[in-house]
A and B are shown apart, each in its own frame.
Chain A
Amino acid sequence: MATAFFVIVAFMLIVYSVLDGFDLGVGAIHWLVGHTREERRVVISAIGPVWDGNEVWLIAAGGTLYFAFPALYASSFSGFYLPLTMVLWLLMLRGISIEVRSHVNDPLWHGLYDFVFTLSGALLTIFLGAALGNVIRGVPLNADGYFFEPLWTNFRITGRVGILDWYTLLIGLMSFVTLANHGAHWLALKTEEPLRERARRLGARLWWLVAILTVVGFFATVWVRPIILESYLTPGWGWLIPVVALGGLGGMALFGARQKDLAAFISSSLYIAGMLGGVAFGMYPTLLPATTDPAYSLTVANSATGAYGLRVGLIWWIFSALLVIGYFCYVYWMFRHRVNVAAGASH
């Protein structure tokens, strides 16, 4: 039953990364794609109707993690105290910048919120990537299951580790490039010329970086946590997940070159889902490894709440997830057209 919730939470975080990932990625490349004030309005209107719902996946995943694995929630959120608070501030600034920009029609006002939007989006991609890096590398858990990490120490992955080291920075960079690329594919899908052309070109260029970082990230991850590779060496269906990621990577190049924007965006989504799913599969049943003593690691077995809570949780979760899928289909269907410079409001 706890394993079901491992899958559910991983699924929710992957959906969050794919959906809000393109919002954040659009933020990161906001100034590169939109050159004029009006073009930047169009860039924001390409995520305007969906960003809030996308962000809810993070809140809902947090809530689900909270009740299914309370010990993990308590340990990780308090251990990442400062960076997580900064993530909160950045999420607040991101939301404000999207929603407040249109209220005043003035170049300085728009410039201010364009700046806040792109800065918060770019930093969030790096922070979230670094957070993932920490979960893979492990944290200095004590016997009570708590830790507190400084922002950085000596940038090594052993001994007294910090939030930032060479590995977590690498994953942060990988997240930044991957989501910027993902955002470019979303903009290519949702906008018209000249924005579409710029977004496509940017996506094509970023692809090379994504490909290089995929290889580097793979070897670094296997070096940092060899167990991830070992999980795939046992017989089973696990190898399908990296195949999905590689297929997505190939699909981005293939469909990007043929200007099939929807297929390229779906490929990018599959790439992200495959990469994150691959990590989750490789880590199972560990949720948060300890760098101190492997016995202190938080696992599915030692972090989950009681069986009754998980059972009822699963029932209502499936019911609510069906509703949510319905809402998302409806909203994305209502918002299926491209946004352009000529039209005023995007709805």
Chain B
Amino acid sequence: MDSALVVDRLQFAFTITYHYLFPQLTMGLALLILVLKTVAIRTGDDRYNDSARFWARIFGINFVFGVVTGIPMEFQFGTNWAAFSRYAGGVIGQTLAMEGMFAFFLESAFLGLFLFGERRLGPRGHWVAAFLVFLGSWLSGYFIVVTDAWMQHPVAHQVMPDGSVQLSSFAALLGNPWGLWQYAHTMSGAAITGSVVMASVGAFYVLSGRAAEHGRLFLKVGVIAGLAFSILQLFPTGDRQGKMVAEYQPVTLAAMEAVFTTGPGVPLVIIGQPNMSDRSMDNAISVPNMLSFLTYRRWDATVQGLDAFPTDTWPDNVPLLYYAYHIMVGLGTIMIAILVVSTLLLLRGKLATSRWMLWMLMLMLPFPYIANTAGWLTAEIGRQPWLVYGLMRTSNGISPEVSAGNGLFTLLGFMGMYTILTILFLFLIYREIEHGPAKPAPSVAY
């Protein structure tokens, strides 16, 4: 494999994975802060206002890191993926430009007012600012997901004389059925991150006895919202997403489940390692006939294995795809289980005193981040070897004049810079958590 291709892929994967650690929390928190503010206005309970302000500070720090790590994404389409941009820019550029014009301007205009303008705007005006920031961030998510959805399931295009594609239907691009379900699944995943982080920080405050009253409130909101969205994540959004893959990318489904051989009554492997040289599954622990049932609702249905497809259309890294997909599903299942038990304890008024459960919630913090990352890895590795599914191979999309050495130099540069950013981010978040939700803001705007 050409090394420039590897470097370009790694750089995009690294920068987008790192970037998405921030928006998944801000999009989730934007919704939850809106809920907190709504309750505060309805009930006049000041603890909800304190909580909204505390989470707005966490939101603000995350937002800054999301903005600065987001700038390289759009630019990389041009710098590292020039052939792809020349080919598909006329289509995916539409939605990327719309993200800037409709979402980023909206967010940037009202973020400052949302973070620092509460006194000036009053409760209702501030609610509106919070709503507009929420709207901006969720719109931004839509335009990005619909861009990715076009690469997964290219619709609404026609080929031009020079071989590139151009848009043929604006409505079909924005209404791509793949994009609608992918958007629902992605945003639900972001809401889970927001909820779990809120519940986790709440558990920390209750366990440490620092801000137990606010901690209980975080637990309540986080656990209930977390349960609701983690169920939505499974059904209908995850289920429908899976059906899309089965319908339009059957080879990807076979690789996700590492089904090498076509046959009836295919088992669902819970734990196992795809063995690429033998084309078999090592140390498999599986449920007989389950995959046939889940895919076609019949126990003896025939599921297409990888052997049904030419090898040059297989995703180029089956084990990684398999692991990513199973980690996403596994963690999703574990989170649902923890949140169901937590909700039952909450309803009986016992959650704040069940220390073992609080420990579990506190330690659950990384789960949604890992699951969301693994989910995106599944989608993007599953799309391989295509950059635009069925139309353009990834190997044909890179910049012809950018050498592997230049790519590696900037990749290492990004890694170094992001290491520093991580330390800075954790330091700032640590200070906010340490400061807590009960006292007023520790710092001025600028």
Contact = CB atoms under 8 A, between A and B. Distances in A.
| A, B from the same assembly | yes
A139 B424 CA distance: 39
Contacts of B97: 60, 63-64, 66-67, 313, 317
B277 to A, nearest CB: 37
Interface string A116-148: 000000000000000000000000000011111
A77 B109 contact: no
Contact of A78 (B100, B399, B413): B399
A147 B401 contact: yes
A342 interface: no
Given A45-B445, A56-B100, A92-B71, A100 B105 contact: no
Interface in B84-130: 84-94, 96-102, 104-106, 108-113, 116-117, 120
A334 B71 CA distance: 27
B82 A78 contact: yes
B112 A60 contact: no
Interface string A50-70: 001101100110111011101
Contact of A79 (B106, B401, B403, B413): B401
B1 interface: no
A214 B236 CA distance: 63
A327 B413 contact: no
Interface residues of B, number: 70
B112 A74 contact: no
B160 interface: yes
Contact of A53 (B105, B158, B170): B105
Given A67-B89, A67-B97, A96-B424, A308 B71 contact: no
A99 B100 CA distance: 21
Contacts of B98: 63, 316, 320
A155 interface: no
A280 to B, nearest CB: 19
A60 B104 contact: yes
A63 B79 contact: no
B64 interface: yes
A279 B12 CA distance: 34
B101 A324 contact: yes
B105 A347 contact: no
Say what secondary structure dominates the interface of chain A: helix
A32 interface: no
Nearest to B57: A103
Contacts of B289: none
A105 B109 CA distance: 26
A318 to B, nearest CB: 10
A309 B90 contact: yes
A64 B61 CA distance: 29
A146 B112 CA distance: 41
A74 B86 contact: yes
- What's the interface size class on A, roughly? 35 or more
Which of B71, B74, B87, B105 has most chain A Cβ within 10 Å? B105
A187 to B, nearest CB: 14
B341 interface: no
Interface stretch (A81-89, A165-173, A194-202, A258-266): A81-89
B90 A78 contact: no
A73 interface: yes
A77 B424 contact: no
Contacts of A82: 406, 409-410
Contacts of A147: 401
B83 to A, nearest CB: 7
Interface string B31-67: 0000000000000000000000000000001001001
A237 B79 CA distance: 37
Contact of A59 (B74, B166, B399, B446): B74
A320 B98 CA distance: 8
B77 to A, nearest CB: 7
B86 A71 contact: yes
A306 B167 contact: yes
Contacts of B409: 82
B230 interface: no
Contacts of B390: none
Contact of A70 (B90, B106, B117, B428): B90
Given A44-B446, A70-B85, 4 more contacts: A52-B108, A91-B68, A96-B68, A331-B112
21 contacts: A52-B108, A53-B108, A60-B97, A63-B93, A63-B97, A63-B98, A66-B89, A66-B93, A66-B97, A70-B86, A71-B86, A74-B83, A76-B78, A77-B82, A81-B406, A96-B421, A148-B402, A305-B89, A306-B90, A317-B97, A320-B102
4 A-B pairs closest in CB distance: A77-B78, A67-B93, A70-B89, A305-B90
